[in-house]
Structure 1
Amino acid sequence: MQKNGEWTNWYRIVIVATEALILFLSYLVSFFIRYGRYVPARNFEAFQGAIGWIIIIFIIFNILFGVYILYNKSKGDLFFITLIIQALLSVVAMMLSFAGRWLAFPRSVVLINFAVSVVMLYLFRVLIFNLYRKYATTKRVMIVGKESEVIPAIFNFKSSKTTRHIVTHVVLSNYYNNVFDHIDDFDIVYLASQIDETEKLKIYDLLMRANKKLFLNSKFENLVMVNPNIMNFEDESIIETSDFKIPADQAVIKRGLDIIMASVLLVVASPIMLITAILIKLTSPGPVFYRQVRITKGGEEFEILKFRSMSTSAESESGPVIATKNDARVTFIGKYIRSLRIDELPQLINVLKGEMSMIGPRPERPFFVNQFQEQNPHYYLRHNVQAGITGYAQVYGKYASDFNSKLNFDLIYIKRYSIILDFKIFLQTIKILFDKVSSSGVDEEARPAVTAEEIEAMNITLIR
């Protein structure tokens, strides 16, 4: 780490190289467990041919799963991610042995290595995680903005897994002067609200001169400036803001990948879907599938297809209602298929029909879309892309987030879109399949409960 406690890229490179070595050693241990001291030359030669590709794919998986980003992780996260990556890597190793004609690479060694590598890599990652927590410096955060937006920001920092960012000051008025007066008492300023442009620029300049960092919220005004294009005209440089759209050439590639992935997943998931359909039919009166009108690209309506997880009379009296935590309308089987996301599998058919994508903003019902558009004039921008089975908001946000927070995640996804980002979200989705929070529905009790009077009780200096 640097003197200021930052986790530099050099440390990450060392960690990546060490983990590659650990993976290699785990295979050697697995060969020893399988064959003892005398490994058949034919089998080991096949391993030598495949191991280079396995290590490359291993590193790619680690990057896509965010293994080397530790500030927002827990030891439980590290174990779960390690388990998923090594399971996927075992499947890849078996596929490589066929594709590369390394048929003598023993499947038994691959399976043994799954257990051995999980243990070895997890122990190493816990060691690194503990060192990171011990030596990475804590960053003192000053939150600046209106009280109505500052309080939820405090709640988010407090409920976050990270211990690196600690809120120490809150400024509710006279922003520049208060930031100036306490310049030595914090490391980061987080602007939770949109403030006067002149005052904002003065704060920018002050922080740059003092070598302090600035965090901005993800409101529309800031998202507009993400991924700009710089053009030069004679002696002037011009910043062109990018659209909230996916480029046409990438959209064609995305559609092709959607068809391939949906087709493969339908074949793989067909036994699970058959069993689910039988269980629904046996345990609850009504149809196996649930059809509901949703909104996709261009504001067009389509019928989303899901396994029915609620009673057939779920909204007969209440009308359209967003699912909540411990929702009484959910059937016995529905509770389990929702928690494992099995109810979403029929949407693969929607993908093949071109109504949805594998990755994109989750589609909402017209009833809620109309409500949300009245409350936020920029809501229509999420309909510039095809609705998805999973998305940026589902992976990086929480199911319980309000629609504005989800909208911000969706707009970030559109602005930062790439094929690599889609693969990253797809892999991260595997992790959240077992996340109870992200599948439980909106928790009506999980709302920011911090009042202005309680701020000071948290050892936060409140500056009005």
Structure 2
Amino acid sequence: MNHRKEWNNLLRIVVVILGSIVSLLSILLSFYIKFLGDVPARNFAAFEASFIWIMLGFIVINILFGTYIFYNKTYLDLFYFTMLSQLFQSFFMMALTYAGSWLTFPRSVLLVNLFVGGILLYFYNGVAYWLYHKISGRKRILVVGEEEKVLQAVINFDHMSNRRHEVTHVVLSNYFQNVVELAEEVDIIYLTGYIEETERLKIYDFLMKTNKKLFLSTNFANLMMVNPNIMSFEDESIIEVSSFGIPFEQAILKRSIDILVSLVMLITLSPIMLVTAILVRLDSSGPIFYRQERISKDQRPFNILKFRSMTQTAEEESGPVLSTSNDSRVTRVGRFIRSTRIDELPQLINVLKGDMSLVGPRPERPFFVNQFISENAYYSLRHHVRAGITGYAQVYGKYATDFNSKLNFDLLYIKNYSLAFDFKLLFQTLKILFDKVSARGVEETETGLLGWDDYKDRLTIVGQNKSIV
């Protein structure tokens, strides 16, 4: 059996703590750059009094951003997260030194540190990222399941910019027997699609006994078992399946934060919204705001607000259609405000009114909701919570992801809800502002045309059907 070392939680904690020390060293260097080596004692005393809080702030900010979760990142992603976390660290230190009355901490040092710290931390993070891949190595994956589901999994892994996970084998029939025969050749077994229960349990039993890593797809049966409650009655141990909903106490806290944050953001971003309103008006005829009926909690309809990014008559002839990446109906200003997500800012008004939340499943139009429910009855479960401006699917998926995949993200969010999860998604939403792929409409790519012929020379395909050449 392959006993490759793993990047475990202890290593991750050590890397974050060392990162906070690098951050402190960058602040020290910024002091010496600012004062050319002759640092006044009164200014340095403010740093000495606050450095513990600065370290804690660094750790919390980078945990929220997920900077040191490396498995699905590239070096470019690492750059984005390093710069964003460094920017928030600067704001945090400004607020910290004001709240702690350490007013002799020079703001000019924070400005210098924004760049010095960014460079040092990116170098440090890059080394940690390299070590992560060196320790963990590339993971060979065996995908097991129905032909259609397996092919889609192969395509998804193949299109990841991070090449850490590579599908090397697939099994399409005689699942248990083939898993036993191929397990030694791979690092991870991924089960997807429908597998008959007795066969699946035999695979589970074998993998647990051999300590082989197992991935499961997010079908409904697996989603049901996320975040269970464990109870005992005398000698009876029971697993209670949690519902697809947010507990009442957490829902009240979530709503309170929505009101506070949306109000502050509306005030803070009002200059940007005013300029955008003027540009939309000047660019094309029609209203500044675009109102469209969407569905939120308990399938209640509401009118979502956006800055208009399309021509006024965009859907008069076409009817309700999803936008595409090269949509001719999008205006010049509209293309820019879409790519930067500025068109979404008026939805803060929807949040304030209670139509939406800051974080939650993206709201769809009634036309598409009815269509999706007719294709997947579980789609209605996402309406157990308020729709959101951003969400799990927006941060970790792509705009072009099909509705079933987005639904899996949404149901995972609801099942795994916590306030900390909301904050993490809000922080990580900032990163996708720089991601052109996630800002596009439904992708008109060739991925839907890919088939087994495109992969047969790179994969070991076991139990293949006659339809696979």
Residue pairs, 1:242-261, within 5 angstroms: 242-261=242-261
* Cα distance in 2, alignment partners of residues 462 and 167 from structure 1: 13
| AA matched with 2:359 | I
- Which has the larger displacement, 148-157 or 17-26? 17-26
- Provide the secondary structure at the position in 2 that maps to 1:144: strand
* Cα distance in 1, alignment partners of residues 113 and 422 from structure 2: 29
CA shift, 1:182, in A, is 2.1
* Equivalent position of 1:442 in the other structure: 442
Which sections of structure 2, spanning at least 5 residues, go unmatched? Answer: 465-469
CA shift, 1:455, in A, is 2.6
* Cα distance in 2, alignment partners of residues 286 and 423 from structure 1: 36
Residues 155 and 448 in structure 1, CA contact (< 8 A), matched pair in contact too = no
* Cα distance in 1, alignment partners of residues 15 and 189 from structure 2: 31
- Provide the secondary structure at the position in 1 that maps to 2:244: coil
Residues 291 and 304 in structure 2, CA contact (< 8 A), matched pair in contact too = yes
CA shift, 1:54, in A, is 1.8
* Cα distance in 2, alignment partners of residues 314 and 331 from structure 1: 10
Residues 17 and 59 in structure 2, CA contact (< 8 A), matched pair in contact too = no
* Cα distance in 1, alignment partners of residues 114 and 365 from structure 2: 43
- Which has the larger displacement, 207-216 or 364-373? 207-216
* Cα distance in 1, alignment partners of residues 3 and 55 from structure 2: 32
Residue pairs, 1:24-423, within 5 angstroms: 24-423=24-423
* Cα distance in 2, alignment partners of residues 232 and 130 from structure 1: 45
Residues 395 and 432 in structure 1, CA contact (< 8 A), matched pair in contact too = yes
CA shift, 1:52, in A, is 1.7
CA shift, 1:446, in A, is 4.8
Residues 87 and 114 in structure 2, CA contact (< 8 A), matched pair in contact too = yes
- Provide the secondary structure at the position in 1 that maps to 2:377: coil
Q: Any idea what the Cα deviations from partners look like across 1:41-69, whole Å, max 9, x if unmatched?
A: 11111122222212111111111111221
- Provide the secondary structure at the position in 2 that maps to 1:191: strand
Question: For the aligned residues, what is the CA RMSD?
Answer: 1.3
- Provide the secondary structure at the position in 2 that maps to 1:456: coil
CA shift, 1:13, in A, is 2.5
* Cα distance in 1, alignment partners of residues 264 and 460 from structure 2: 52
CA shift, 1:37, in A, is 2.2
Q: Any idea what the Cα deviations from partners look like across 1:191-235, whole Å, max 9, x if unmatched?
A: 111211011000111111222111110111110000011111221
Which sections of structure 1, spanning at least 5 residues, go unmatched? Answer: none
Residues 167 and 460 in structure 1, CA contact (< 8 A), matched pair in contact too = no
- Provide the secondary structure at the position in 1 that maps to 2:169: strand
- Provide the secondary structure at the position in 2 that maps to 1:104: coil
- Provide the secondary structure at the position in 2 that maps to 1:457: coil
Residues 7 and 135 in structure 2, CA contact (< 8 A), matched pair in contact too = no
* Cα distance in 2, alignment partners of residues 143 and 3 from structure 1: 20
| AA matched with 1:265 | M
Residues 71 and 163 in structure 1, CA contact (< 8 A), matched pair in contact too = no
- Provide the secondary structure at the position in 1 that maps to 2:38: coil
After the TM superposition, which segments of 4 or more aligned residues of structure 1 sit over 6 Å from their partners? Answer: none
- Which has the larger displacement, 124-133 or 300-309? 124-133
- Provide the secondary structure at the position in 2 that maps to 1:116: helix
Residues 382 and 410 in structure 1, CA contact (< 8 A), matched pair in contact too = yes
TM-score, structure 2 length as denominator?
Answer: 0.96
Q: Any idea what the Cα deviations from partners look like across 1:431-453, whole Å, max 9, x if unmatched?
A: 11111111111102253443223
* Cα distance in 1, alignment partners of residues 381 and 40 from structure 2: 60
* Cα distance in 1, alignment partners of residues 358 and 279 from structure 2: 26
Residues 1:386 and 1:311: Cα distance change in structure 2 (over 3 Å): same
- Which has the larger displacement, 239-248 or 120-129? 120-129
- Provide the secondary structure at the position in 1 that maps to 2:269: helix
TM-score, structure 1 length as denominator?
Answer: 0.97
* Cα distance in 1, alignment partners of residues 179 and 450 from structure 2: 23
CA shift, 1:181, in A, is 2.2
* Cα distance in 2, alignment partners of residues 214 and 144 from structure 1: 11
Residues 152 and 448 in structure 1, CA contact (< 8 A), matched pair in contact too = no
- Which has the larger displacement, 163-172 or 197-206? 163-172
- Provide the secondary structure at the position in 2 that maps to 1:352: helix
| AA matched with 2:356 | M
Residues 6 and 135 in structure 2, CA contact (< 8 A), matched pair in contact too = no
CA shift, 1:347, in A, is 0.5
CA shift, 1:3, in A, is 5.7
* Cα distance in 2, alignment partners of residues 170 and 459 from structure 1: 7
| AA matched with 2:225 | M
Residues 305 and 350 in structure 1, CA contact (< 8 A), matched pair in contact too = yes
Task: Give the length in aligned residue pairs.
Answer: 463
